[in-house]
Structures are given as structure tokens and as C-alpha cells.
Structure 1
Amino acid sequence: MLHEALFGARPAAEAVIAEDGGPLGFALFFHNFSTWQGKRGLYLEDLYVTPSARGRGVGKALLRHLAGLAVERDCARFEWSVLDWNADAIAFYRAMGAVGQDEWTVQRVDGDALRRLAGHLDPD
């Protein structure tokens, strides 16, 4: 499934890998769209750095690379979500210039609730 999403006929996402004699981390991202700006944005879905590579600038390099792609692609913004309990990640992102969007809350429908909303399951 991931192979199709990245390399299929209609890729849904892109990924970059940090390497130094082997993989150190990766960032998986895709484009979204802002009706407020009238432009697409770049959304970081996953950022992972191997435990042994943490603190060596790998995460920063990946974020800088994606920021460069967002600028090159004329994106209105570069954004991502972080769990509110992940204080280390939040501090890292703030140090990189990220600003929390506290006025927004993520809404999600998945599983049976998604199928129900789509009319593919009977209501409860």
C-alpha cells in the first residue's frame, strides 16, 4: 500500500531519506491546499530520525530541506501536527521557528464511523 502511494501511477505522497552510510531518518509529506491563500501547502505527515542519529542535526536538515521544497514550489505554508504531550518535539519545532496553531483542533472520522458517514454502513 505504501509503495503504491509513493511510486504508483498517482503518487499521494513523497518522501526524503537522510543517509550517511545508511539511513538516518526520513520525512514523508504531501501537498494540501489553502483556500485562504489560494495556493497549495506542504504538509509533513511523518518525521522520523533513528535514535542513534538524534541530536546530530538530522531532523533539522530534513525540515530545512522540506522548507526549501515549499519555497521552490511556491507553497503558502509548511505545516504538520505534533502530539500535545510530546514536549521535546514541540520545543524542537519552536526552535526551528514553528508556531503552534492553538485555535485549530484536528477532527477525524475513520473506521466504521467513516463508512457510516459515507453511507456504507447502517446508522447506529
Structure 2
Amino acid sequence: MPPLLTIRPATETDVPAILALILELADYEQLTHEVVATVDSLRATLFGPSPCAEALMGCVNGEVAGFALFFQNYSTFLARPGLHLEDLYVQPAHRGCGLGRALITAVARIAHERGCGRYEWTVLDWNTPAIRFYESLGAEMKSDWRIMRVTGPTLESMARVAPDA
């Protein structure tokens, strides 16, 4: 019998599981050293007075086995909102059963229902299995774009730069 897959909105009680999945994802991506998230910081940013993002939980036979975390962005070219999928993760033991597809398409449905003009995410260039999976869904690799990022002390320094008068 195939496993029972369910997708549901995350609740505040899911925060410890979300953090555990984030840590698994960071380990897979060899980025554990970048994780500073805590149960408290996730609770505040996902379920506090001004939530910054949303999450869906992917369950296999009633047990959490993955998640999708996303937030709204905006396209000036389209003059419409969009959704950015920040993280999609399925535990290795549950890959191949359709949970990743169920999660990514559930977020696509949300984007469509909200009138979004775009649904985007990033993928590490070495993650060939993920790239093949995304392309099998019809996603287009935007190879001419590169992510620019500032964090920590560099962000603080940039924020202190006085604008030209």
C-alpha cells in the first residue's frame, strides 16, 4: 500500500520540527555553520504579531517528513505579488514517494489562489537531483541571474551609510 501523504499549514506547535528540518537541510547543503535560527526566533517570525513567512508541513502516514517555507515578494515588471520558496526539504528516507512534489505544488496552488505572477526559488548549482526535479515540473533555470547578499556586520555597516544628499 502506498504511503498516505498529507500537506497542512504549519502551526506554532510545529516550530521545533521545522527547526530540526532546517538543521537537516543545512547539513545536506553543507551550510550548518550558517544556521542561527532558534525555536524562539522561528516562532516570532512565523507566528508572531507580524509574520514574515509561512510554512507547510509534509507528512507521511501522519509523521512530519518535510516542509516548505515561503514568503511573498513583488514583481515591479508584472505589478503583481509573487511567492518565493525559501526552503523545500524532504527527509532522505521519504524521498521518491511524491512528498516533495506535493509540497512544491501546494505552494504553487497558494501562489495561484493569491493572484501571484511569479513563483520562484533558488537551488545550489551542485544539487543535480533537485535541478532535475524542478525542471521535470516545468521550472526554468534563470542562469543569467546571480544572487547578491549582505548579512551580519556587512549589513549593519551598509545600513549606516548616509544617503547622498
Gaps of 5+ in 1: none
Mapped to 1, the partners of 2:96 and 2:80 lie a distance apart of: 34
Normalised TM-score (structure 2): 0.71
Normalised TM-score (structure 1): 0.94
Give the superposition deviation at 1:84: 0.6
Indicate yes or no: 2:127 matched with 1:66: no
- Give the count of matched residue pairs: 120
Mapped to 2, the partners of 1:103 and 1:51 lie a distance apart of: 31
Gaps of 5+ in 2: 1-40
Q: 1:31 aligns with which of 66, 72, 75?
A: 72
Q: 1:93 aligns with which of 134, 155, 160?
A: 134
**Paired amino acid for 1:73:** R
SS class of match (2:155): helix
What do residues 69-111 of structure 1 show as CA deviations (whole Å, max 9, x unaligned)?
1110000011000011111110110001100111111000112
What do residues 21-68 of structure 1 show as CA deviations (whole Å, max 9, x unaligned)?
210210000000000000110100010101111010000000111111
Q: 1:9 aligns with which of 28, 31, 49?
A: 49
Q: 4+ runs of 1 displaced by more than 4 Å?
A: none
Mapped to 1, the partners of 2:85 and 2:145 lie a distance apart of: 17
Greater relative contact order: 1 or 2 (C-alpha under 8 angstroms, separation 6 or more)? 2
RMSD: 1.0
SS class of match (2:115): coil
Residues 106-121 of structure 1 mapped to structure 2, 5 A cutoff? 106-119=147-160
Higher helix share: 2
**Paired amino acid for 1:17:** M
SS class of match (2:160): coil
